[in-house]
Structure 1
Amino acid sequence: MPLNAVTSHIISIQHHAIYYLERKGQTLDSPLLILFHGFPENAHAWEALIDALPTEYHVIAPDLPGYHQSEPLADSSDYQVPSLVSRMGEFVQTVSQGRKAILVGHDWGGAIAWPLAAFQPDLFTKLVILNAAHPSTFTQALKTSRAQRKKSEYIKALVADDAEAVLQQTDFAMLKDMLGSAMFEGDMFANVRLESTNQTASDNSYRARLLRSWRNTPTLSAMLAYYREMPQMAPDEHAPETELSRLRVPVLRVILPTLVLWGRLDEAFDEDILNGLATYVPNLRIVYHNTATHWVHREQAQWAAKEITDFLM
């Protein structure tokens, strides 16, 4: 097996299987990065970034609980953020084997990474966030920004009772549109092969992995449960002040040195959600990419890898 091969593994955390990718570092002291993906992706979303990161880095990227090859959880309440933070904190403790890690999160992975870094900072040395809203500034934006409320309207379709049926009947048009239709016109990451499998390149493409997991109804329901169990739903764009006033802005402080990488063409988050972030994250650096979208980790993997590497020096 090549020295820097990406291998796949399964581990039991709180009696449920979590699948993860791993590329070991060159030494026992190699920096350990743990990457949390977002919706509607999976651990393989990180393959381009893993390939771009220095080979001496030890990298672990799990499927979030219920996604792709990680086992769906027993109860809908298990997808509430505090439960996810607890489960993923135990995952980090288990795979890091006593070492401190650098936590990296995108989208929903970032929504878990923010509170995990806040409540269990002793597990980590640094935090890296890619286009994932901090809970405090995001909620504040929902209260005050019509632009953010409009960008969050897609959530209604994902929490609807018939969301699974609609997505399946439309061949997941909404999810494909989110990720960019170009991804489904070619074999993205088709040449990446896990050493522990005998899959063909077409079976192993990122596109194929996404479609297989979406077509599995229990997995799809697990993915949607993240939205259905959100503590506060996004109000309508034109919600009255009486409704907006009921939103509670959480106070979530992160003391870890934190890097935020932000694609400025994000269709899910208005850039104003970064306003006031230093109030909650005092040791903060924000770096923008002017032409990247929400999917900056795939679109600009080399750029993101360089920014992360510089941050870790």
Structure 2
Amino acid sequence: MVVSKYVNVEGASLHYLSREEESAENPLLIMFHGFPENAHTWEALMATLPTSLDIIAPDLPGYHLSSPLPSETDYQVPSLISRMAAFIEKVQKGRKVILLGHDWGGAIAWPLAAFHQTLISKLIIVNAAHPSCFTRAIKTSSTQRAKSLYISALIDKGAERTLTNTSFTLLKNMLGNGFFEKETSYSRTLLNDWSKPETLSAMLNYYRQMPQQVPQKNVPEHVLDDIRVPEIFIHCPTLLLWGEQDDAFDLSVLDKIEHYVPLIIKRFNPHASHWLHREKPEWVQKEVINFIGL
């Protein structure tokens, strides 16, 4: 049974969904969601995974039932990594941790696994670009810069007002054709989240505090030359699951990823989009089970 729990991390409350026996024999799968979702995005996948696996899925800081953070700068990636590593330490309870991240959850999971190596035994990424590869792609790929243009609307000073006044059309379109056509408890939850000014601002702060803002499609070469590619290496076994119909990422974001993640296994689904975990939960479940070795 999945239950809601809360834990205080660095002075802020983090809400998470829990399906646990809290047995030291069970590995613990911790799942970080992306923008503009919340922990309930994982419910279809959680329902298919065996009970020999404990599962925790937090609402990222500021999302849904997790407290907004005091300062906009608290949403900078190093601060988020520190906070989520502290969260893992609080809920781990002696279990081997497999970290899974999608989208922004993946953007946090990649460097967390790099900089907190003793916390994470294995890493699973669903449609989230490695920070080094993403930065290189926006330097070298006009296609990726074009796919990332939506970010400019999210970091605009008037983004909250624009999104609200347009009934969150941009966010609805992000989640894929048909997602809101059939009303569900999850879609209602998302609309309720987005309608809360403090929550919406917290969500947008992830983009506003990105370490490297995305340049425009036809930016001058000297601006691109000045972008520094971070060197972030992940040494644990890593599974990359990728829906090939991704509107947010060009496949160039995967070029030379083995340089940064030598123990990577890549699996592609040609029929899924950026929302692979929701569209193909059975496919994801099989890949996850094989990778963990259950």
Q: Identify the TM-score tier after normalising by the shorter chain.
A: over 0.9
Q: Post-superposition shift, 1:98?
A: 3.0
Give the whole-Å Cα distance in 2 for the aligned partners of 1:38 and 1:289.
19
Which residue pairs with 1:152 in the alignment?
Answer: 148
TM-superposed deviation, 1:27: 4.4
- Equivalent residue for 2:201? 221
For 2:260 and 2:176, the matched residues in 1 are separated by: 33
Is contact 2:27–2:95 with CA below 8 Å preserved after alignment?
no
Match of 2:233 among 242, 247, 253: 253
Once the two structures are superposed, what CA deviation does each residue of 1:74-113 show, in whole Å capped at 9, x if it has no partner?
Answer: 0011000000000000000000123230000000000000
Q: Can you give the 5+ residue segments of structure 1 that lack an aligned partner in the other structure?
A: 189-204
Gaps of 5+ in 2: none
RMSD: 0.9
**Take 1:104 and 1:97, find their aligned partners in 2: how far apart are those partners?**
18
Q: How does 1:120-159 map to 2 (within 5 A)?
A: 120-159=116-155
Distance, in Å, in 1 between the alignment partners of 2:81 and 2:249 is 22
2:218 aligned residue (238, 246, 251) = 238
Percent identical among aligned pairs is 52
Aligned mates of 1:95, 1:183 — CA distance in 2: 32
Q: Map of 1:144-293 to 2, 5 A cutoff?
A: 144-188=140-184, 205-293=185-273
Runs of 4+ displaced beyond 6 Å: none
| Alpha-carbon distance between aligned partners in 2 of 1:40 and 1:231, rounded to the nearest angstrom | 19
Counterpart of 1:262 in structure 2: which amino acid?
W
CA distance in 1, matches of 2:116, 2:250: 28
For residues 245-264 of structure 1, the C-alpha deviation after alignment (integer angstroms, 9 at most, x for no partner) is 11110000000000000000
Shift of 1:222: 0.2
Conserved in 2, the CA contact under 8 Å of 1:25 and 1:59?
no
CA–CA distance in structure 2, aligned partners of residues 100 and 84 of structure 1? 22
Matched to 1:242, the amino acid is H
Task: Count residues with an aligned counterpart.
Answer: 293
Q: Map 1:28-177 to 2 at 5 A.
A: 28-177=24-173
For 2:30, what is the secondary structure of its paired residue?
strand
- What's the secondary structure of 2:245's corresponding residue? coil
Q: Alpha-carbon deviation of 1:187?
A: 3.2
**Matched letter for residue 107 of structure 2:** A
Q: Contact conserved, 2:34 with 2:106, CA < 8 A, in 1?
A: yes
TM-score by length of 2: 0.98
Asked if the contact 1:26–1:56 (Cα under 8 Å) also holds between the matched residues in 2, the reply is no
Q: Which amino acid aligns with 1:283?
A: L
> Displacement of 1:26 after TM fit?
8.2
- For residue 301 of structure 1, what is the aligned residue in structure 2? 281
Counterpart of 1:264, as a letter, is E
Deviates more, 1:158-167 or 1:27-36: 27-36
1:139 counterpart letter in structure 2: T
